Structure 1
């Protein structure tokens, strides 16, 4: 679609006496008008989709007045006259070609099929309608009209060369965009075209979502117009600002941020030479021990390379090292290798507890590292998070001392942060009545594929106590088929088919197997059947997820699994009764881990041994499991020690 006209100077023209900023699009519109293009077509090509054809008609009249007035001011008398001539004032007297003239016989059949005229009369009529000079060329009037039309086009070209303006970065958005859109942009804090370009670059292709009442169609028109004038604006919108993030693969050049100073990710950080750590006060002076590390950035990269135990661990270590380096450079104005014990104690005890100034250090959650709005924090750190940061940085310091990079570890004397129990389970589980409400809200007489998946997820989580990542990664290949005493496998779904187990890979420790109640396995069989797969898990591919996306069949991510349970809790709060009311605020904060806590509480209350629960949950220490023990017992479960309610 051709670029739309710069709307602020073309919309609502009846309220203006002239157009203050003429563009090439204005001249293209008026040139089409003079050439006789229908106003309907001009409106479809250049007009605003939110207005009707009358707006384009008014604009054409305003352009006529503006152009003739400008020609009058420049004393271009010819242009003043010619640009006010309407289409049709210079008729196109095109002569008929010889091939278009009918023969005398054809003419006789059309005008005198009954032979009323004599041959002489018919020839006279024919010559009067199709004069002989028509075949010899254009007459003098046609020549004059053609010359007049050329002069009209030349006059328009002269006016375009002298009057047209190109948008500049410092021009107000109100000078180029339609008033309604410009007003909404200004309300968001976008006042100039440079502001608009920067706003789009910062927020990516869905930038319009941050502007009230600007949708994707209007945003597309604005972006197209900015691209049309990229030369005069001296800025071409980047690929990252135009292409959805999901279409950019990891490592795409569009995602790479240039090296720069300030609060930026460590991979894009440019550190001034004087504080890069090469001459830090805490650099080791033992020349007898080799050290290939020269700067703090090199030291951090080398340390992180030795800590690639898991993606989660690597991210946590990088995050803490990155925060410390950025704080040292930007707040203390010194190298990380120049920090002393007092600096490190203040970092843990004061700065992490409340990163200030917040506008510089704290950003919104879930912003990509490649985004210019990325910040190292999403808020103040809890005592436990600060203690974790201290432990990680202490370990980094010890490693740097061992590598002969630091002379001593400045975190050695940083006091530990006082914290409570490692797991806070208070207020994060459901009593039996509340659990019944959750199950009742998820149960159906007839299930859709999605509802069956959610109901299975609820029962599987409650009966096993799995973490959300373990639920997301559970597959048919990890189900262990029950066997009879003679070692033969039982038939799927038979009455004697008891003892199904699910293998869970180890998290820091050995793998474990968890019994899965038969009632839950019945839901597994039914879910596989609903997905068009064999009811027998052993007949499915080993990587078939037990809890799959209901449209694609792919495994759910841990975050996707969390969304399943948040939806279940939200639906429960809607259907709660006064007797089993789940507080809406609690439901809003509920997560998959609530089911894990509920499983543990209910299992212990029903008399299950603590060590059995410890193995089922995958706790390394029994003390962690004992956190779930309550002094007051609330009774037994609905279906024994398994913790699963009967499937409905």
Structure 2
């Protein structure tokens, strides 16, 4: 695989170009494994490869090694210690340790390493922080204000309202929303077909408000922005191309920022809010897992802590004997 036009930071691109041939070839093979064999997202591949380049740059620059066979537990520990010294937090260290373990396991399976040092690498556990969520009435205000902006049928306003409604109705990731095509929408059954992480497909329902917003966008908004470069994309940018996730983040931040008292959050905050409100409304954990496309139930269980914390806060605020 050629090493040009990489979606990496400039410093990592430079470090990658400077790696000895054997180490550079290992990075190329590992990248192909992640993107082709495992089908991981571009963002995930970029993060893993960046961490591995950092590790191998440390192996070469600090240890003077040109062979992957010199990669052992001491190098891994020294690399993480150096990351800590330059200010990397617990979350970053945990992610980099996970990337290193994935890489050494892969290298051992392909006989690039004789012994896998990864399982013996300890790193700080990633803190489980509670996600920021909107209250139900705040989410309703976001949608109401967004709908009010569509009265003049401006195509961008129609799009933005449909984007907000669909994010909150379905709990989609921003990348999943931007990747939707026209034929991914089943109007009759109010379902959207989503291809999520690991190319896993799922069907997610949406309600009447989402259907109305989407219908207005498709009938009056999308045709006004349509160009030859639009293709089958469901949501379009101002110039007619597929809507960019960065534009969606701006739309969500602006919409939520207009609601007094609402926490500053973005598309993932709407996803968190959707999950929390579903559980508070009586949905079971397994169903929410399916809707969100979580690989394991443990990820979804985080939202149960959110609802419990909110119930405790309500109890403390309202019960006469607290």
TM-score of the pair, normalised by structure 2? 0.78
Are 1:594 and 2:269 an aligned pair?
yes
- Relative contact order (C-alpha < 8 Å, sep 6+): which is higher? 2
Are 1:432 and 2:136 an aligned pair?
yes
* 1:464/1:616 contact within 8 Å kept: yes
Structure 2 match to 1:5: none
Are 1:462 and 2:168 an aligned pair?
yes
1:497-528: CA deviations, max 9, x gaps? Answer: xx321111242364211112123212222112
CA distance in 2, matches of 1:340, 1:267: 20
Q: 2:220 aligns with which of 530, 551, 566?
A: 530
2:303 is paired with a residue of what secondary structure? coil
Structure 1 match to 2:195: 505
* 2:12/2:50 contact within 8 Å kept: no
Give the number of aligned pairs: 291
TM-score of the pair, normalised by structure 1? 0.41
CA distance in 1, matches of 2:273, 2:207: 17
Are 1:473 and 2:186 an aligned pair?
no
* 1:512/1:618 contact within 8 Å kept: yes
Matches within 5 A, 1:394-433: 394-421=101-128, 424-426=129-131, 428-433=132-137
1:577-625: CA deviations, max 9, x gaps? Answer: xxxx23xxx42xx110000111111111111222222211112222322
Q: 1:624 aligns with which of 288, 294, 299?
A: 299
CA distance in 2, matches of 1:509, 1:300: 23
Matches within 5 A, 1:130-145: none
Structure 2 match to 1:389: 96
Over 3 Å counting, the alpha-carbon distance change for 1:303 and 1:522 in structure 2 is closer
Q: 2:240 aligns with which of 543, 553, 569?
A: 553
CA distance in 2, matches of 1:565, 1:344: 40
CA distance in 2, matches of 1:628, 1:298: 42
The offset of 1:264, in angstroms, is 5.5
CA distance in 2, matches of 1:463, 1:330: 50
The offset of 1:318, in angstroms, is 1.7
Over 3 Å counting, the alpha-carbon distance change for 1:330 and 1:607 in structure 2 is same
CA distance in 1, matches of 2:91, 2:311: 30
Rg larger in 1 or in 2?
1
Structure 1: gaps (5+ residues): 1-249, 277-293, 356-379, 483-498, 535-541, 635-648
Are 1:568 and 2:255 an aligned pair?
yes
The offset of 1:329, in angstroms, is 2.9
Over 3 Å counting, the alpha-carbon distance change for 1:514 and 1:342 in structure 2 is same
Structure 2 match to 1:344: 76
CA distance in 1, matches of 2:235, 2:254: 15
1:512 is paired with a residue of what secondary structure? strand
The offset of 1:559, in angstroms, is 2.3
Matches within 5 A, 1:104-119: none
Instruction: Report the aligned-residue RMSD.
Output: 3.0
Matches within 5 A, 1:7-18: none
* 1:461/1:595 contact within 8 Å kept: yes
1:602 is paired with a residue of what secondary structure? helix
CA distance in 1, matches of 2:140, 2:209: 16
1:324 is paired with a residue of what secondary structure? helix
Over 3 Å counting, the alpha-carbon distance change for 1:441 and 1:326 in structure 2 is same
Q: 1:452 aligns with which of 158, 161, 180?
A: 158
1:366-391: CA deviations, max 9, x gaps? Answer: xxxxxxxxxxxxxx433233223223
Structure 2: gaps (5+ residues): 225-229, 313-322
Indicate the structure with greater helix content: 2
The offset of 1:251, in angstroms, is 5.8
* 1:425/1:597 contact within 8 Å kept: no
Matches within 5 A, 1:20-169: none
Structure 2 match to 1:324: 55
Are 1:521 and 2:193 an aligned pair?
no
CA distance in 1, matches of 2:247, 2:222: 22
Over 3 Å counting, the alpha-carbon distance change for 1:548 and 1:509 in structure 2 is closer
